[in-house]
Amino acid sequence: MHLIIAEKHIAAKRIAAILAPSKTKQVRVSGVDTYEYESDEGKQIFIGLSGHIVKLDFPKAYNNWQKVEANELIGAEIITTSTQVKIVSALKKLGKEATRVTIATDYDREGELIGAEALEIIQKVNPEVVFDRVHYSAITPKAIDDAFSNPTNVDFNLADAGHSRQVIDLVWGASLTRYISLAAGRLGKMFLSVGRVQSPTLALIVEREKEREAFIPKPYWELSALLKSKTGEEFKAEHRTKRFWDKAEVDAAMEKLSIGDEALVTELTTSEKIDKPPTPFNTTEFISAASSIGFTAANSMRIAETLYTNGFISYPRTDNTVYPESLDLRAQIEIFKTGAFKQYALKLLEKKELVPTKGKKETTDHPPIFPASIAKKSEMNEQEWKLYEMVVRRFFATFADSAKWETIKSKFDISGEEFKANGARLVEPGWRWYYHYNAPEDRLLPKMEEGDKHTLTKLDMEAKETQPPGRYGQGRLIRIMEEMGLGTKATRHEIISKLYSRAYVHGNPLQPTKTAIAVVDTLEKFAPTISKPDMTSKLEADMDRIAEGNIPEENVLNESREMLEVVFTELGKNKDDITESLRAGLREDKIIGTCSQCSSNLMVMRSKRGSRFIGCEGYPDCNFSLPLPRSGQIIVTDKSCEEHGLYHIRIITPGKRPWNLGCPECNFIEWQKAQEEEKKNQNTDKERPKTLNDISGIGKVTAEKLADAGICSVDELCEADALELAKVTSIPVKKIKTWQSDIV
Q: What pLDDT, on a 0 to 100 scale, did the predictor assign at position 185?
A: 85
Q: What pLDDT, on a 0 to 100 scale, did the predictor assign at position 33?
A: 94
Which tens digit of pLDDT belongs to each residue from 498-546? 998 888 998 889 999 888 999 999 999 988 888 898 888 888 899 999 9
Residues 544 and 578 in one domain: yes
- HEC string of 415-484 equals CCEEEEEEEEEEEECHHHHCCCCCCCCCECCCCCCCCCEEEEEEEEEEEEECCCCCCCCHHHHHHHHHHC
The number of beta carbons lying within 10 Å of the beta carbon of residue 217 is 10
Under 8 Å between Cβ of 407 and 273: yes
The region of weakest confidence among 381-385, 425-429, 605-609, 684-688 is 684-688
Task: For the chain, give the percent of residues with pLDDT over 90.
Answer: 67
Is residue 128 domain-resident? yes
Q: What pLDDT, on a 0 to 100 scale, did the predictor assign at position 692?
A: 86
Residues 620 and 676 in one domain: yes
Out of 154, 182, 197, pick the residue that ends a domain. Answer: 154
Out of 552, 583, 614, pick the residue that ends a domain. Answer: 583
Please name which of 286, 289, 366, 276 lies closest in space to residue 322, comparing C-alpha atoms. 366
Residues 179 and 146 in one domain: no
Which tens digit of pLDDT belongs to each residue from 546-560? 999 999 999 999 999
Residues 456 and 575 in one domain: no
Is the pLDDT at 388 greater than 90, yes or no?
Answer: yes
User: Which CATH number does the domain housing residue 145 bear?
Assistant: 3.40.50.140
Which tens digit of pLDDT belongs to each residue from 110-155? 999 999 999 999 999 999 999 999 999 999 999 999 999 999 999 9
Q: What pLDDT, on a 0 to 100 scale, did the predictor assign at position 684?
A: 58
Is the pLDDT at 389 greater than 80, yes or no?
Answer: yes
Q: Where does the pLDDT of residue 581 fall: very low under 50, low under 70, confident under 90, or very high at 90 and above?
A: confident
Q: Residues 501, 301, 519, CA angle at the centre, nearest 5°?
A: 30
The number of beta carbons lying within 10 Å of the beta carbon of residue 554 is 11
Under 8 Å between Cβ of 650 and 658: yes
User: Which CATH number does the domain housing residue 267 bear?
Assistant: 2.70.20.10
Residues 112 and 126 in one domain: yes
Is the pLDDT at 428 greater than 70, yes or no?
Answer: yes
What type of residue sits at position 403?
A
Residues 445 and 296 in one domain: no
Residues 601 and 576 in one domain: no
Q: What pLDDT, on a 0 to 100 scale, did the predictor assign at position 738?
A: 84
Out of 583, 616, 637, pick the residue that ends a domain. Answer: 583
Residues 13 and 137 in one domain: yes
Q: Tell me what the mean pLDDT of segment 263-269 comes to.
A: 96
Is the pLDDT at 643 greater than 60, yes or no?
Answer: yes
User: Which CATH number does the domain housing residue 698 bear?
Assistant: 1.10.150.20
User: Which CATH number does the domain housing residue 554 bear?
Assistant: 1.10.460.10
Q: What pLDDT, on a 0 to 100 scale, did the predictor assign at position 682?
A: 63
Q: Where does the pLDDT of residue 198 fall: very low under 50, low under 70, confident under 90, or very high at 90 and above?
A: very high
Under 8 Å between Cβ of 205 and 548: no
Looking at per-residue pLDDT, the higher value among 458 and 490 belongs to 458
Is residue 295 domain-resident? yes
Q: Where does the pLDDT of residue 630 fall: very low under 50, low under 70, confident under 90, or very high at 90 and above?
A: confident
Q: What pLDDT, on a 0 to 100 scale, did the predictor assign at position 588?
A: 80
Which tens digit of pLDDT belongs to each residue from 38-59? 988 889 999 999 889 999 999 9
Is the pLDDT at 685 greater than 60, yes or no?
Answer: no
Is residue 77 domain-resident? no
Domain count, the chain: 6
Q: Residues 423, 428, 433, CA angle at the centre, nearest 5°?
A: 110
Is residue 14 domain-resident? yes
Residues 10 and 131 in one domain: yes
Active-site amino acid positions: 315
Q: Where does the pLDDT of residue 681 fall: very low under 50, low under 70, confident under 90, or very high at 90 and above?
A: low
Is residue 63 domain-resident? no
Under 8 Å between Cβ of 446 and 261: no
Which tens digit of pLDDT belongs to each residue from 460-504? 999 999 999 999 999 999 999 999 989 888 889 999 999 988 889
Q: What pLDDT, on a 0 to 100 scale, did the predictor assign at position 164?
A: 94
Rounded Cα gap, residues 576 and 583, in angstroms: 11
Residues 289 and 385 in one domain: yes
Q: What pLDDT, on a 0 to 100 scale, did the predictor assign at position 683?
A: 58
Please name which of 207, 215, 222, 245 lies closest in space to residue 467, comparing C-alpha atoms. 215
User: Which CATH number does the domain housing residue 383 bear?
Assistant: 1.10.290.10
Q: Checking DSSP bridges between strand 25-29 and strand 219-228, what pairing results, if any? A: unpaired
Q: What pLDDT, on a 0 to 100 scale, did the predictor assign at position 224?
A: 96
Residues 194 and 321 in one domain: no
Is residue 69 domain-resident? no
Q: What pLDDT, on a 0 to 100 scale, did the predictor assign at position 501?
A: 84
Q: Checking DSSP bridges between strand 130-133 and strand 100-104, what pairing results, if any? A: parallel
What one-character-per-residue DSSP string does 31-47 give?
Answer: TEEEEEEEETTEEEEEE
Domain that holds residue 320: 283-397
b/e 206-215 (16+ beta carbons within 10 angstroms → b):
bebbeeeeee
Residues 115 and 28 in one domain: yes
Average pLDDT value over all residues in the chain: 91
Rounded Cα gap, residues 367 and 364, in angstroms: 7
Is residue 72 domain-resident? no
Distances (CA, A) of 546 to 103, 541, 550: 21, 9, 6
Rounded Cα gap, residues 688 and 45, in angstroms: 74
Is residue 25 domain-resident? yes
